[in-house]
Amino acid sequence: MSAGRDLYDLTILGAGPTGLYAAYYAGRRGLRTKLVDSLAELGGQITALYPEKWIFDVAGHAKIIGKDLVRNLVVQAMEARPTVCLEEQVTGLEDLGGGLLGLRTNKAEHSTRTLLIAIGIGMFTPKPFPSPEINAYLGRGVVYSVREKEAYRDKRLLIVGGGDSAVDWALNLEPYCRQITLIHRRDGFRAHEESVRQLKASTVEVKVFYELKAVRGEPTVQEAVIFHNKMKAEEVLPVDAVLGCLGFSSKLGPVKEWGLTLDDDSIVVNSRMETNRPGVYAAGDITTYPGKVKLIAIGFGEAAIAVNHIAHYLNPAVDPFPGYTAAPELAPARAL
């Protein structure tokens, strides 16, 4: 691969919330920017899995529907007029010499001066039920994500899981469903404490130490067989749908072969969001460092940190601190 004439200052790999905000911020720093994502739409995991789920950790919004957050981020990002390349799976990264990088995908070759990796949890797929018999009902009442809440109007829904996804969907779908039962194999939840408090105060029937044994019905799900994993007693529930919230399997894919310092499947970065490879930065859930917290709000901050230091990396005469966006008289004084 050669540098070619179509050279960008910054290429952002991943067009979820962190990548979109980075594209917007790169525009504020005057960087010629490109967004590359493997999905067919902007928005990353939110668009793919949670378009109608409430999101609670974004400043300025007590809560906001996922697709609305993505819509706002896209409008904001497009102000900077980045080049957008969708449905491109990365296959390689190489040094082109002279401080330039070449990003290779299944469709194209991209030349860039810097790269920001913002791929969230990487290549993700929902964990399926261990039973092939249950998975045979996939698309016939068994699902692993919710695209439209209205599809569950007046339905009897069984949710399986005890993490944020299970609890959040129970609360999100409560106004739509005729009845919701949530089962979890333990009595402790991995969800946010406030969400668990709301769940216990809701109309959702919560059954702990229960697991899903089987589903029945033709052509779609009509009942679920659950069992108490301590008492071994079985119970049959009339249901119209089963939502599995069992977590995700994620992997870095080709990124794992790029010579980056990793901690499990996370990329190690410093306080400037730099990786160990010159010109390569990372932000959002894909990163790790001491004290790291994986929230959308944190990803926004890391995107701004990364872009400001990228601007300085590309031109050392440029201050990595861009100045306040508030009026000067409202901004706190900078220490000398």
Structure tokens of 329? Answer: 């008289």
Ramachandran sector of residue 120 (left: φ over 0; alpha: ψ -120 to 50; beta: rest): left
pLDDT-above-70 percentage for the chain: 95
Question: How confident is the model over 100-117, as pLDDT tens digits?
Answer: 999 999 999 999 999 999
The pLDDT of residue 126 is: 86
Q: Are residues 109 and 257 in the same domain?
A: yes
Q: Are residues 108 and 147 in the same domain?
A: no
Please indicate, yes or no, if residue 14 is contained in any of the structural domains: yes
Residue 2 is assigned to a structural domain of this protein: no
Average pLDDT, the chain: 92
End residue of a domain, out of 200, 219, 246: 246
Q: Are residues 214 and 266 in the same domain?
A: no
Which residue segment(s) compose the domain that 151 sits in?
Answer: 128-246
What's the pTM? 0.81
Residue 331 pLDDT > 80: no
Q: Are residues 70 and 24 in the same domain?
A: yes
Q: Is the pLDDT of residue 184 over 90?
A: yes
Report the run of H or E that residue 312 belongs to, with start and end. helix 296-314
Q: Which of 231, 246, 261 is the last residue of a domain?
A: 246
Confirm whether 68 is domain-assigned: yes
Query: In terms of domains, do 233 and 137 share one?
Result: yes
Are 135 and 183 part of one and the same domain? yes
Angle at 53 between CA 55 and CA 198, to 5 degrees: 70
Closest CA to 258 of 90, 136, 110: 90
* Residue 336 confidence class, pLDDT cut points 50, 70, 90: very low
Residues 17 and 94 both lie in one domain: yes
Q: In this predicted model, what pLDDT tens digit does every residue of 259-318 receive, in sequence order?
A: 999 998 899 999 999 999 999 999 999 999 999 999 999 999 999 999 999 999 999 999
**Same domain, yes or no: 133 and 227:** yes
CATH at 267? 3.50.50.60
Whether 19 and 45 map to the same domain: the answer is: yes
Q: What is the pLDDT of residues 140-174, one digit of tens each?
A: 999 998 989 999 999 999 999 999 999 999 999 99
Tens of pLDDT along 12-37? 999 999 999 999 999 999 999 999 99
Residue 116, amino acid? L
In a domain, 103, yes or no: yes
Let me know whether 132 and 233 are in one domain.
Answer: yes
The answer on 29 and 87 residing in a single domain is yes
Of 222, 246, 270, which one is at a domain's C-terminal end?
246
Q: 268 CB contacts (<8 Å, ≥6 apart)?
A: 260, 261, 262, 275, 276, 287, 288, 289
Does some domain include residue 336? Answer: no
45-75 pLDDT, tens digit each: 898 888 988 898 899 999 999 999 999 999 9
Between 47 and 248, name the one with better pLDDT. Answer: 47
Domain count, the chain: 2
1 lies in some domain: no
On whether both 236 and 136 belong to a single domain, the answer is yes
